[in-house]
Amino acid sequence: MKTHIGPAIRLTIVLLVLLSVIYPLVVAGIATFAPGGGKGETVTVNGKVVGYKRVGQSFTEDRYFNSRPSAVDYNAAGSGGSNKGLTNPDYLKTVQARIDTFLVHNPGVTKEQIPSELVTASGSGLDPDLSPAAAKIQINRIAKIRGISAERLNQLVDAHTEGPLLGLFGPAKVNVLRLNIELDRTHGL
């Protein structure tokens, strides 16, 4: 037994140093070469940081495209989903409340037309993107409030739609923050 304790202790110390000190420093060093220097890519308007490129944020005013709901209130420090199953009564109440709110703010839209991503939170709670359909279903509301033609807003959504990676992987998506920034820039109130 004594012959196994010494190597086990040495291995534990080596792995602690390797995995607790060296590995995190290597990852942090590599991250400095990533966009944003490992601190995330910020989005600026007129020299002021207004958000992060890959972190969703709340847009609740009717003059903006709404983001996907977040179970963590868009807090990147504690990302995660609600962890409630599809039949959980609390979850169902939350989704129904989101549906009801969406219908109040988007007259003329039926429950069946609402894309699920507008009433359900993503797994991370930080999804910055919507499908083009989820953005386009909000066009009539925004057009009426801002006095813009629905056709012009449709063009704006199309211009901000990113296709699948390499044309194959993943869905088409629209970054809500960038879309709303462009909306303010071109059709501000």
- Lookup: tokens for 68: 């996907």
Task: Report the chain's mean pLDDT, rounded to a whole number.
Answer: 87
Query: With left for phi above 0 and alpha for psi between -120 and 50, is residue 176 left, alpha or beta?
Result: alpha
> What confidence tier does 189 reach under pLDDT thresholds 50, 70, 90?
low
> What confidence tier does 109 reach under pLDDT thresholds 50, 70, 90?
very high
Sign of CA dihedral 117, 120, 122, 126: positive
Give strand pairing partners of 129.
175
CA distance 154 to 15: 55
Per-residue pLDDT tens digits for 114-142: 999 999 987 777 788 899 999 999 999 99
């196994």: which residue's tokens?
Answer: 4
Position 84, amino acid: K
Model pTM above 0.85: no
- Lookup: tokens for 16: 């602690």
Tell me what pLDDT residue 26 has.
93
Give strand pairing partners of 43.
51
Q: Are 172 and 163 in contact (CB under 8 A)?
A: yes
Per-residue pLDDT tens digits for 154-171: 999 999 999 888 878 988
Give strand pairing partners of 45.
48
Please tell me which residue, 79 or 104, carries the higher pLDDT value: 104
Q: Of all residues in the chain, what percent carry a pLDDT higher than 90?
A: 50
Per-residue pLDDT tens digits for 11-56: 999 999 999 999 999 998 898 887 777 777 777 788 887 777 778 7
DSSP state of 27: H
Kind and range of the H or E run holding 103: helix 89-105
Of 103, 101, 97, 186, nearest to 147 by C-alpha is 186
Query: With left for phi above 0 and alpha for psi between -120 and 50, is residue 25 left, alpha or beta?
Result: alpha
- Lookup: tokens for 42: 């910020």
Kind and range of the H or E run holding 139: helix 139-146
Give strand pairing partners of 130.
174
Count of helices and strands (H, E) across the chain? 7, 5
Does the pLDDT value for residue 65 go beyond 70? yes
